[in-house]
Chain A
C-alpha cells in the first residue's frame, strides 16, 4: 500500500510543478536525501563489521608473531586439524550447543505453556521470577555460579547435608562436571528470556483451536505437539538461531566460571581465539583462521535450521 502511495506522489509532483527548475532540484534532492539518513550507519557498519571480516579472512592466510605477519597459504588451515586445543574447543562448544540449546528451548516452551493457562494463579509472580536471571550481567552471574559450585560452595553443602553425595564434589576440577556447570549456568540465565518470546506468541494463538482439539479428544500432550509447536514454529526458529549464534560465541561464562579448565575441558572457540591473540604469544593470523571456523559454523547451522523449519518466513 505504502509503495503505491509513494509511486503516485512521484508521478504527481513533477506534473504539478513542471515549470520551475527549483522544484525539480527539490524533488531530486528529496530522492537523494533518504541516503543521508542511512549513510552514517552504512559507513560505520562497513568499517566496524564488514571490513574487519575481510581483514580476518586475509589474516587467516598469514602467520607470525605480533605485527610481523607473512602469507603462509593454507598452513593455518592445515594446522587446525592437528591442533589438540582447537579440537578440544570445537568439541566443547559443540557439546554446549547440542545439549544446552535444545534443553533450554524445551524447558522454555514447557514453562510458557504452563504459564499460558488463563486460570493459573500467581502468574505474574512466576513470570517475573523466571525472567529475573536476564537482568544479571554475564560476568556477574558467572562469578556467582563459580562460588555456588565451588568445593565448599552452597551446592556441595546442600548435597552433603541432605545425603545426595557422601562427600563434596569438586565440580570445577572435573572435566565432566565442569561442562555440566557451564550448561546449567547458561540455561539458568537464558530460559526465562526465551520463555517470554513463547509466551507472547502463545497469546496470539486463537484459543478456539484448543477448544476444538479438546472436543475432538486431544489430550494435553497431543495439543502441545500438534497445535502449540506448529503454531510457534517461526518463533522457535528465531530463538534457536539466536541461541545457537550466542552459544557458538560463548566466552564470558567459560572464562569466569572455569577459565577453560580443568585442562582445556571447557575451553570454547571464542576463548581460544582470545588466548591465541592476547594471552599466549600473539598469533593474529592463526587466531583469525580459528575465528573463521565460527563464521562457517554460524552460516551452516543457520541454513540447516531454516531448512528444518521448512519455508522461510
Chain B
C-alpha cells in the first residue's frame, strides 16, 4: 500500500511537472525551427535559430519595444520602491491614529479593479495632453504614473518595517541625522533584501503589463513588448519560429531573475501574507 501511494505521488507530480514545463520546451525548441516544422509538430532542435533571430530583428520592431519596456520597467520600479518604502516607513515609524485610518483607506484601493478606472484615467491623461506633454496620451510617462504607487507595496514595506530595529533610528537622530537622513542612510541600507524582493515583483509586473499600455499607447514606435507579442500573435500568416523567438526574448529577463534570485522572488510574492 505504501509503495503504491509512493508510486502514485511520483506519477502525479511528474505529470504536473511535465505539463508545466512542456510549453517552455516547445517554445525553446521552436526558436530553432522553421515555421513549417513548428506547425508540423517538430519537437527536436533544428538549425534555424540564427535565421529566425535575423528575421525577427530585421522585420519586427523588437528593439524599440525592448527599449520602451526597459525604460518603463526601470522608472516604475525606482518610483514604486522610493514612494512605497517612504510611505511604509512613515506609516510604521510615525504611527498615529490619523495615519492608521488613512492607511486602511489606502488598502481599500487594492480592491479596485483596473478595468473600472481605466476609462477615467484615459480621459484624465487626455485632458493634460496639452499642458503636460510628457504625461499625455501616447507617452511613456502616462504608462508609468498610475502604476508607480500601489497600496500593495506600501503594505509590503510597512510589514517589513515592523522587524526593523527602532534603536537604529534613535541612534541616527542622536548622531544628528535629519529624519530623511535616517531614512536614506540607515533604513535603506539595512533593508536591502526587502528592496530586492519588491524590485523583482515590480519589475515583472511592469514588464508584463498589457491592458494599460494597450489603452494609453497608440503609435507603433511606442509599443512595449507585450503589445508587440500580442500583435504578432494575432497576425494572419504567422511565422512561428520568429514569434517564438520574440516570446523567448520577452520571457528571458523574468526567467533569469527567477533563477538567479529565487529566494527574493518568493519573499516578494509572500510579502503580503507575513505577520
Which of A's residues lie within 8 Å of B, judged by CB?
2-3, 5-6, 30-31, 33-38, 40-42, 44-45, 48-53, 55-56, 59, 111, 114-115, 117, 120, 125-126, 128-148, 152, 154, 157-158, 188, 192-193, 196-197, 200, 220, 235, 238, 245, 248-249, 251-252, 255-256, 259, 269-270, 273-274, 277-278, 284, 287-288, 291-292, 294-295, 298-299, 302
Q: Cβ of B254: which chain A residues have Cβ within 8 Å of it?
A: 135-137
Q: Cβ of B230: which chain A residues have Cβ within 8 Å of it?
A: 139, 143, 255-256
Q: Are A132 and B20 in contact (CB under 8 A)?
A: yes
Q: Are B119 and A37 in contact (CB under 8 A)?
A: no
Q: Are B119 and A135 in contact (CB under 8 A)?
A: no
CA gap between A103 and B273 in the complex, in Å: 22
CA gap between A193 and B269 in the complex, in Å: 9
CA gap between A49 and B152 in the complex, in Å: 13
**CB contact under 8 A between A295 and B106, given known A45-B151, A139-B229, A140-B251:** no
Q: Cβ of B118: which chain A residues have Cβ within 8 Å of it?
A: 273-274, 277
Q: How far is the CB of B113 from chain A (nearest CB, A)?
A: 5
**CB contact under 8 A between A248 and B86, given known A2-B166, A148-B26, A157-B41:** no
Q: Are B154 and A288 in contact (CB under 8 A)?
A: no
Q: Cβ of B27: which chain A residues have Cβ within 8 Å of it?
A: 144
**CB contact under 8 A between A302 and B120, given known A41-B149, A126-B17:** no
Say yes or no: is B171 at the interface (Cβ < 8 Å to chain A): no
The residue in B16, B95, B124, B232 that gathers the most chain A C-beta atoms within 10 A of its C-beta is: B16
Q: Are A137 and B207 in contact (CB under 8 A)?
A: yes
* 12 A–B pairs (Cβ distance < 8 Å), ordered by A: A36-B90, A37-B89, A37-B91, A37-B183, A53-B120, A135-B255, A135-B258, A143-B232, A196-B270, A249-B113, A270-B211, A295-B113
CA gap between A141 and B149 in the complex, in Å: 27
CA gap between A6 and B100 in the complex, in Å: 15
Q: Cβ of A35: which chain B residues have Cβ within 8 Å of it?
A: 90, 94, 99
Q: Cβ of B93: which chain A residues have Cβ within 8 Å of it?
A: 34, 37
DSSP class of A's interface residues: helix, strand, loop or mixed? Answer: helix
Q: Are B83 and A40 in contact (CB under 8 A)?
A: yes
The A/B interface has a contact count, at CB < 8 Å, of 246
Say yes or no: is B132 at the interface (Cβ < 8 Å to chain A): no
CA gap between A288 and B183 in the complex, in Å: 41
Q: How far is the CB of A40 from chain B (nearest CB, A)?
A: 6
Q: How far is the CB of A49 from chain B (nearest CB, A)?
A: 4
**Contact code string B82-126 (vs A, CB < 8 Å = 1, else 0):** 011011011101111001001000100101111111111111100
Q: Cβ of B21: which chain A residues have Cβ within 8 Å of it?
A: 129, 132
A53: contacting residue among B41, B117, B251, CB under 8 A: B117
Q: How far is the CB of A99 from chain B (nearest CB, A)?
A: 18
Q: Are B109 and A56 in contact (CB under 8 A)?
A: no
Q: Are A52 and B215 in contact (CB under 8 A)?
A: no
CA gap between A273 and B215 in the complex, in Å: 11
Say yes or no: is B168 at the interface (Cβ < 8 Å to chain A): no
Q: Are B115 and A291 in contact (CB under 8 A)?
A: yes
Would you list the 6 A-B pairs with minimal beta carbon distance, nearest first?
A: A34-B94, A37-B90, A137-B208, A143-B233, A55-B120, A52-B120
Give residues of chain B (62-98) contacting chain A, Cβ–Cβ below 8 Å.
83-84, 86-87, 89-91, 93-96
CA gap between A249 and B149 in the complex, in Å: 20
Q: Cβ of B87: which chain A residues have Cβ within 8 Å of it?
A: 37-38, 40-42
Q: Cβ of A148: which chain B residues have Cβ within 8 Å of it?
A: 23, 26
Q: Are A37 and B210 in contact (CB under 8 A)?
A: no
Q: Cβ of A192: which chain B residues have Cβ within 8 Å of it?
A: 20
Q: Are A49 and B109 in contact (CB under 8 A)?
A: yes
Q: Cβ of A252: which chain B residues have Cβ within 8 Å of it?
A: 210-211, 226
Q: Cβ of A249: which chain B residues have Cβ within 8 Å of it?
A: 113-115
Nearest CB to that of A277 among chain B residues? B119
Q: Are B41 and A197 in contact (CB under 8 A)?
A: no
Q: Are B39 and A152 in contact (CB under 8 A)?
A: yes
B243: contacting residue among A132, A143, A292, CB under 8 A: A143
Q: Cβ of B207: which chain A residues have Cβ within 8 Å of it?
A: 137
**Contact code string B184-203 (vs A, CB < 8 Å = 1, else 0):** 00000000000000000000
A30: contacting residue among B179, B243, B250, CB under 8 A: B179
Nearest CB to that of B27 among chain A residues? A144
Q: Are A188 and B26 in contact (CB under 8 A)?
A: no
Q: Are B113 and A245 in contact (CB under 8 A)?
A: yes
Nearest CB to that of A44 among chain B residues? B149
Say yes or no: is B53 at the interface (Cβ < 8 Å to chain A): no
Q: Cβ of A41: which chain B residues have Cβ within 8 Å of it?
A: 83-84, 86-87, 106, 149, 154
Q: Are A34 and B120 in contact (CB under 8 A)?
A: no
A291: contacting residue among B24, B89, B119, CB under 8 A: B119
Q: Are A197 and B23 in contact (CB under 8 A)?
A: no
The residue in B17, B83, B255 that gathers the most chain A C-beta atoms within 10 A of its C-beta is: B17
